[in-house]
Structure 1
Amino acid sequence: EDSEKESDDEEEQESRLSKEERIQEEEDEDELYLHDQQMKEAVREAVQIQIDRFQDSLQRENDEFLRNIDENMKKVLKGLVKNQVKEQVSRILPQIKESVNATLEAEVLTRSSHSSRTSYTIAD
């Protein structure tokens, strides 16, 4: 009877120990799982931060590139417009000179004619 009782006590103690071990193992597994999830989240956040920084850097480079293209296009267009204006002015300049000269000649003739009539009237 005593040996049976001792045997039962031992079995009960082993059962209790194995139950405690299982509980400890489950707690350890839960802790590992939680740690694993936290690590995954930390890695995900770190990766997202790097991606955001990289995108910001690319956006800045792209903005600067577009600004440079815009400035260069403005310079080219300004040069083209300047050349077109020069061409058009040189094309119409002879006509302008001709028109101005004709107007001046007409004015001189008119004044000359008016002046000679005035002189004639005075001489009368």
Structure 2
Amino acid sequence: SAFRFEERLRLLETSFSEYRQTNQFANVVSAIPGVVHQYMDQQMKEAVREAVQIQTDRLQDSLQQDNDEFLRNIDENMKNMEGNKSIQRSEEQRNLYKVLVEAYEADKAILETYGDSTILKRRREDDDQEGPSAGPNRG
């Protein structure tokens, strides 16, 4: 009877040991999807962050080019107006030209000081004022 007890105990210990090993394996296998999900989540966040940064850089470059072109056009138009003596024909025309030059100089100083954020804010405000039917992509 003592021999059978010992044999049963040994079989029970063996079975329990196999169960623990199998259970640990099952735990490890069941943890794999979570690890993969974490890894993929991290990779996706990094990819999105990089894509957003690239797009932001492109937009800033584009806005800076637009801003530079706008200022060049204004400078050219101002020089043309100064060269054209017709603006000096009447007091009213001279005053209008003077106000235009002052407004341009103020806008130019703002753009040079605050840069792209001012342009974006002004464009958003202009879009808001135009209403929902304005714009090329509206139906």
* TMscore range, shorter length: 0.5 to 0.7
Query: Moved runs in structure 1, 4+ residues, more than 6 A?
Result: 95-98
Pairing of 1:1-124 with structure 2 (within 5 A)? 14-93=1-80
User: Percent sequence identity over matched residues?
Assistant: 7
Q: What is the number of residues matched between the two proteins?
A: 85
Corresponding residue number in structure 2 for 1:121: none
Q: Deviations over 1:30-61 (max 9, x none)?
A: 11111122122223333212211222222222
Shift of 1:90: 2.8
Rounded Cα–Cα distance in structure 2 between residues aligned with 1:88 and 1:39? 74
Structure 2 stretches lacking a partner, 5+ long: 86-139
RMSD: 2.3
- When normalised by structure 1's length, the TM-score is 0.56
Structure 1 stretches lacking a partner, 5+ long: 1-13, 99-124
Higher helix share: 1
Larger-Rg structure:
1
Corresponding residue number in structure 2 for 1:107: none
